[in-house]
Structure formats: C-alpha cells, structure tokens
Amino acid sequence: MKKDFLTLLDLTRDELNALLKRASELKAGKDSSSCPLIGKSIGLLFNKTSTRTRISFQTGIYQLGAQAIYINTNDLQLGRGETVEDTAKVLSRYLHGIVIRTYEHSTIEKLAANSTIPIVNGLTDLHHPCQALADILTVSEKKGRLQGVRMAYIGDGNNVANSLIEAALLTGIDLVLACPQGYEPDGRIYERAIAGGAKVKILTDPSGAARDADILYTDVWISMGQEKEVERKKKKFEGFQINSRLMSLAKPDAIVMHCLPAHRGEEITDEVLDSRQSVVIDQAENRLHTQKALLEMLVK
C-alpha cells in the first residue's frame, strides 16, 4: 500500500525516529554513492513560489538516483480546469511520487485519494510537514534531545505553527505559542494534539512564551496568498517581533529558528537573525537530508 505524507501525523513515532536516524546517516555521507531510486521520476507540482523546498527536493531526488520533474501547476491542464482526480490518476501511471505545494489542504487530500503513488505535502495553507521534519532534526542536533525542550513560537498561527504542534505531539517538545488574538493555530490540530498528550500552550503574551525558552522560533506574518491582509495584520503583530529584548528573556544558550524566507525587520530583527544563536541556515540545510530520508521511506 502506498503511503502519503500530507501531515506530520502520517508518520508514527517509530517511523519518525527511523527517518531522523536515516537523515543523520545521509548527512554524514553514509551510502553517498548508492542510488536507491534509480530510474524513478518524482513530480514537483508547485503553484506557490519556493527556494528551499523546490531546490532541496530537486537536488535530493537527483542524489537518490531519480529524476525530478518540476512544473508550475498552472502549466498543467489542471490550470485550464482538468480535475484533480483525473490528474492524479494519469500522473500515477507515469511517476513514482509527487511533491505538491498549493493553497487548500483539501486539494492534496483529493490528489492523494485518487493516486496510487505517494503524495508529499510541500506546503499548504494548513500544514508544512517537510519543514517540521528538518526542524525536529535541527532541535535534536543542537539540543541533544527532543523530550522536554522548551520551544517558544512567536507569531502567526499558520501552517508552520500547525506542523510544529504536531511535532510536539510526536516528539515531546514542550511548545508554547504566542499569537495575537484571532491568529491562533488551527483549533482542530491543537485539540487533537492536546488529546494525544502533547505539551502545547497558546498565549497572547510574547514575553511569557519567551521566558526561559531553549528555542525561539518565528515565521513571516504574511504567508503566501495573504498579501491582501498586509496592513491589518502588521498592526495586530506589533510586539510579536523576535528582537534582542525577547532574546534576553530566553535561556542564555537559547537558539533562534526560522523556516525562512524571513521578512527582516518585521517578525525578526537582523541583529537576532544574524546572531551566533541563530541556526536558520543549518535548519534550511536539514531540509535536504530529512526529505531524502522521507523519499527513501515512501517511494518504492
């Protein structure tokens, strides 16, 4: 049976641990000459822009011995009204997997339900699970453990925040989010994590979240597709910037994470993003290793 990766919870804890171990091996150069996916083709179907996701998948797929076929979904017949269902059925006859970045999460659910090949979520409005994989590896590398590490996510309760909540459920990371009222993460994702025993709190006070944190994490205030909301949102997010004042509340050895791209001077200052405590470039690198491990696991 094919396995999809639409949200982080498509992995069990054991599968996640195996994936992290494999990603670390790949990062260390183990099996660097083996090509487990030789002769395969993976579609990269994007209708939002991307630097990290696109290039890390494209490079990783090549390193695994397969070819990546990148296409903007507007250039498919999908862009002229062909259904997601027909697209899924036809592409399943050519490809061995699809990574898709799009708006509505229901689109990738429909794609997955109608495909016989694995579908990987390269970001939707609701989830960014590939980012969460790299984030988890980065936390374990930098902090030497996951269980009980205190992460403060300060900013918009968006796709990245939703996937971090699922990461907290799978790993035991102790997650405190500070979001302006009305910009909390998805209620169902939060409720499910709490019911599953995750340690997740949602506050409206950035200082309360940052105090004694091991990690300060943020993301843009305006996600792709929300460009019309710029002025209204910026006002709501005053006080939610990660800057030296918030950093001074965290533990002295706290690290700073951001999925990137950053809007410097908005959700985070240059000073913090470029500081020695910032691990954002290592975090971006880990996209490559974790996604290679993911594709090895999913693509047959």
Based on the shown chain and the rule CB under 6 A, indicate whether residue 255 belongs to the binding site for ligand NVA.
Answer: no
259 carries an active-site annotation: yes
- Which of ligand CP, ligand NVA, none does residue 219 bind to, with CB < 5 to 8 Å depending on kind? ligand NVA
105 carries an active-site annotation: no
Cβ of residue 290: shortest distance to ligand CP, in angstroms? 12
Q: Cis omega before residue 261 (within 30°)?
A: yes
Segment lying near ligand NVA (by CB under 6 A), choices 153-161, 169-177, 179-187, 248-256: 153-161
d(CA 124, CA 233): 20
Nearer to ligand CP by Cβ, of 18 and 260: the residue is 260
85-124 positions binding ligand NVA, by CB under 6 A: 123
Contact mark string toward ligand CP, 12..51, x via CB under 6 A:
--------------------------------------xx
Query: Cα separations (Å) of 200 from 9, 106, 189?
Result: 16, 25, 11
Nearer to ligand NVA by Cβ, of 22 and 289: the residue is 289
Amino acid at site 46:
F
- Which of ligand NVA, ligand CP, none does residue 158 bind to, with CB < 5 to 8 Å depending on kind? ligand NVA
d(CA 279, CA 252): 15
Q: Which of 211, 262, 206 is nearest to 236 (CA)?
A: 206
287 carries an active-site annotation: yes
Residues 143/214, Cβ–Cβ less than 8 Å: yes
226 carries an active-site annotation: no
Cβ of residue 153: shortest distance to ligand CP, in angstroms? 15
Residue numbers annotated as active site: 101, 128, 131, 219, 259, 287
